[in-house]
Structure 1
Amino acid sequence: MGYLLPTEWTSTFVPLQDKCPKSSIEDINRMLLDDTGCSISDLFSEFDEEPIGTASLAQVHRARLRRSGEEVAVKLQHPSLAEWVPLDLSLTRFALTNIKIFFPDYPMDWLSEEMELSLPVELDFEEEAKNIYRVRDHFKSIPNTALVVPKVIWAKKRILVLEYLRGYRIDDINSLDGAGISRDEVSAALAHIFNEMIFGKNAPLHCDPHHGNLAIRPNASRSHPNFDVILYDHGLYRDIPIETRRSYAKLWLAVLDGDESRMRIYASQVAGISKEQFPLFASAITGRDFVALKKSVSSSRSDAEREHIAAAMADGMLSQLVQLLANVPRIILLILKTNDLSKLRHYNMSVLALIS
């Protein structure tokens, strides 16, 4: 929630998306031998030693399969990760528990609980392969979507081989402009995809849609849109209960209608939000200052509004936000993570279809 949290917090964690320290090629080769009985040269006729991107859990290399000659992306877990994860989780639990004790206005022990639930799943790339099969199957029946998900070639617990798909990062504005790709259409396409995940019947929710996991690929075979949205990294998915989907949809319809009384009703239903918490929760889901939100969610965010949010954070709203996040249902936290303003700026008809 970069529109609410301080820049010092959010910018510090950006490198975790794709610019972390890389594992050595020697360690990677040793892991391949341990897990498959084959070396890099046995499996691949080409293998770029410099990774395309290195995140906190894994790094990705471009390669070419020796048997078929197909170009692939090879996702490799950092070999020492499994050894250190139990210690990391213990240290995180210890640190966040003590933060809660010494700084009771900043309860973040829920974060270690969420990590202990999510991390083992994200470390199993065979589970990620299952997620890929599921999301590809779901979106086959969704018309007019620009979504492209790499197909799985093969998977092991620490190794995932996918078809290689090139694209521009969604924040690479110069490349998008140079390719004649409309920023508004990219925003609308993202809205379509992620609204389907949030509101669609039995849709899987991708819980880590940051810039390092999204790319835009020009597609000359069609005109509107003239691009594909590539979604990488499918390690963490959750299912949203149908009643939560419906209440959340009704909440957003109330937001669009500017109906504060209905907004409060459905905020309470979906996340147990109290009367006092509501203005902050409304800002969290929309990325707007509550005063501006009451006027119109569709208007652009002004410099004055940004300054007002920053001033409110400095004046104590940050601790209120941390306390709010500590008390909402965990699935709502993951929806908020997916529910970035840029994805919902162009609200699509999937919500209305769900309600009707």
Structure 2
Amino acid sequence: MNGLSLIFRHSRRDFSANVRRISGRNFSTSGQGLEQTNPRLSNIKINSPHQEGQSKKSISILTVTASATGLAAALFYKDDLIHAFKASVRTGRVLKTMVICMNDYRKTLKQNEIIEDKEERNRFMTACHQRCADRTLKTLEDNAGIFIKLGQHLSAMGYLLPLPWTATFIPLQDKCPISSYESVETMFKMDTGQEITEYFSSFSFEPIGAASLAQVHLATIRETTQQVAVKVQHPALAEWAMLDLELIKFTFSTVKKFFPNYDFDWLSREIEYSLPLELDFTKESQNALRCKKYFSEFPKLPLVIPDVIWAKRRILVMENVSGHRPDDLEYLDKNGIDRDEVSAALARIFNQMIFGKGAPLHCDPHGGNIAIRKNEKRKGCNFDIILYDHGLYRDIPNELRRSYAKLWLSFIDGDEPKMRQYAREVAGVTDDKFIIFASAITGREFSVVTSDISKKRSAEEKLHLNNALSQGMLQDLIELLSQVPRIILLILKTNDLTRSLDENLHTRHGSVRTFLILARYCSRTVLEEKLEELYNRKGLLWPSNMLNLFKCWWDFLRVQVKLEVFELGLVVQRNWQDYTKFGKI
């Protein structure tokens, strides 16, 4: 039996069984590519013992396999030829794109072996990256569903993938398919037992927003007249999720077979784990409620999380709270919302999620999941930060959180021995992989990590970082990511997304202020650990502990005051620059 026929066998199985299975587990919810003009794959080993002849033979086998998928589908869906045809089309798109791209890379790498000029090799490889990214984008858009989600994941991996790939996939963050009103209406009746018009007095025919897994409609609850936002899962996901997930796993495993150094199995494992959680909106509602409750203890942070009215597995009814994307600089400037203050507020919110004791971590903070709205009534600033899409959360274990804080303090201090020590504690990173890990987690060139990590990233630094990966470190990074704990992968992703948010704001402070804020949260986390150790040693008021207690607080307050003064100085400097500029006008 054709191995791919097993994919079809599961493609129509109700995905809700897997959602319930995984949702019921005891789980914790918790440089930009490196050289745009450099070949990222120049050092990739191609696993072909007979070289070109074997590669052509293998690709021919894949082509035959792709052609056989229609027959396999028909065999398993004799009673539903339409479904079988659609399944074969989806599968055929993926396999065709995979085979063409692999062959393109094979030819380009072979061609580059005889080209001596480095710049010319770079041009050929960059062009190959772009061709393959364009083909893949078309396939992701055509298949939609979790393929869009995959593209969004890849677009956020600027620390790993070539720039043509990440840049090409960025539109997937906002450009998502729309499910028809009729399909939504049918799903609503199936899941609630009611017609949409029975529960809502109005329901927008067109969604106000669409994402990879769901879309949002405006509606009015008939009984209370409250205007709400209704998030509905794309109905087609139930039909295709299992097939699509198997196709993603098959694609990554096949790429690994032909390009052994390019192992993305860890990404397919993460998608396989997280997807059922994201498809269960009851879990999302629980995450939202938990996050809202947690941040109610921090009223100075301008975070707004819409109230949840009710939720079912594929439907979520929420308070309607709208705003503008954080990179809508025209809106910010027009409404007198200071970009630097937005940047600082975002830094405080996400540092609180990472370093706060018992805090839930939102693991998908891209620009489409965050909105800014003006709020003149809020104390301390004139805006709110609205956080959407609470489907992907994790908890950071206490010991990991503390070691991670020490790791960042060692980065800020430029203390390489401690960097290496805490990199081992955080992710099991050995000395031979440390440099690439440090660059990946900070998004900085290693020479900057060991000197002044707070300075703004320059275009030259991004190019240097790009060169470093293309000269053999890329494979080390991919191997490293396949070995580190899953939570570290999500922290890396969150770091990269929040770093992108900050850079897109084009602040006057650059990254200096955000690193000051980071240092304050890290030092507070270290203080918490020291106080706990003293308390466990016969109590904080035990005579022998009193001096140590005083020293802990003195060290903490000394650092906090220093950072507070430094941050205040930046604010004063910024205000003075604004004043003098206004005076000239």
TM-score range (shorter-chain normalised) is over 0.9
* TM-score between both structures, scaled by the size of structure 1: 0.95
Q: Distance between the aligned counterparts of 2:317 and 2:172, measured in 1?
A: 22
Q: How many residues matched? A: 356
Measure, in 2, the Cα distance between the counterparts of 1:147 and 1:254: 29
Residue in 1 that maps onto 2:374: 218
Give the 3 Å change call, closer, same or farther, for CA 331–274 of structure 1 in structure 2.
same
Per-residue deviation at 1:4?
5.2
**In the alignment, is the contact (CA less than 8 A) between 2:303 and 2:385 conserved in 1?**
yes
5+ long unaligned stretches in structure 2: 1-156, 503-513, 528-585
Q: Give 1:352's aligned residue.
A: 523
Residue identity opposite 1:336 in structure 2? L
Q: Is the 8 A contact 2:414 2:450 kept in 1?
A: yes
Which residue type is aligned with residue 517 of structure 2? Y
Match of 2:428 among 266, 269, 272: 272
Q: Which residue of 388, 399, 406 maps to 1:232? A: 388
Write the distance in 1 (CA, Å) between the matches of 2:516 and 2:296: 22
**What are the Cα deviations for residues 323-355 of structure 1, in whole angstroms up to 9, with x where unaligned?**
221111110001111123356545242222211
Q: Deviation at 1:166? A: 1.1
Shift >4 Å, 4+ stretches: 342-346
* Superposition pairs of residues 79-94 of structure 1, within 5 angstroms: 79-94=235-250
Q: Aligned-residue CA RMSD in angstroms? A: 1.6
Write the letter of the residue equivalent to 1:354: T
Match of 1:115, SS state, is helix
The equivalent of 1:45 in structure 2 is: 201
Is the Cα–Cα contact under 8 Å of residues 219 and 226 in structure 1 kept in the other structure? yes
- 14, 19, 22: which one aligns with 2:170: 14
Residue correspondence of structure 1 range 197-212 to structure 2 within 5 A: 197-212=353-368
AA paired with 1:164? N
The structure with the greater share of residues assigned to strand is 1
Counterparts of 2:388 and 2:516, CA distance in 1: 22
- The answer to which structure has the higher helix fraction is 2
Deviation at 1:82, TM superposition (A): 1.5
Instruction: Give ranges in structure 1 of 5+ residues lacking alignment.
Output: none
Deviation at residue 47 of structure 1 after TM alignment = 2.0
Q: Tell whether 2:262 aligns with 1:106.
A: yes
Aligned partners of 2:207 and 2:380: how far apart in 1? 33
For the residues of structure 1 that align with 2:159 and 2:478, how far apart are their CA atoms?
Answer: 14
Q: 1:103/1:277 Cα in 2 relative to 1: closer, same or farther (>3 Å)?
A: same
CA displacement 1:152-189 (0-9 Å, x = unmatched): 01111100011011111011111111111111111111
Matched residue of 2:422: which SS? helix
Q: Is the 8 A contact 2:300 2:379 kept in 1?
A: no
Of the structure 1 ranges 294-303 and 157-166, higher mean CA displacement relative to structure 2 is found in: 294-303
Partner Cα separation in structure 1 for residue 225 and residue 515 of structure 2:
42
Q: Deviation of residue 112 (structure 1)?
A: 1.5
TM-score by length of 2: 0.59
Residues 1-356 of structure 1: pairs in structure 2 closer than 5 A: 1-2=157-158, 5-222=161-378, 224-340=380-496, 341=499, 344-348=514-518, 349-356=520-527
> Structure 2 CA distance, aligned partners of 1:3 and 1:113?
19
1:253 Cα offset (Å): 0.8
Mapped contact 1:63–1:74 kept (Cα < 8 A)? yes
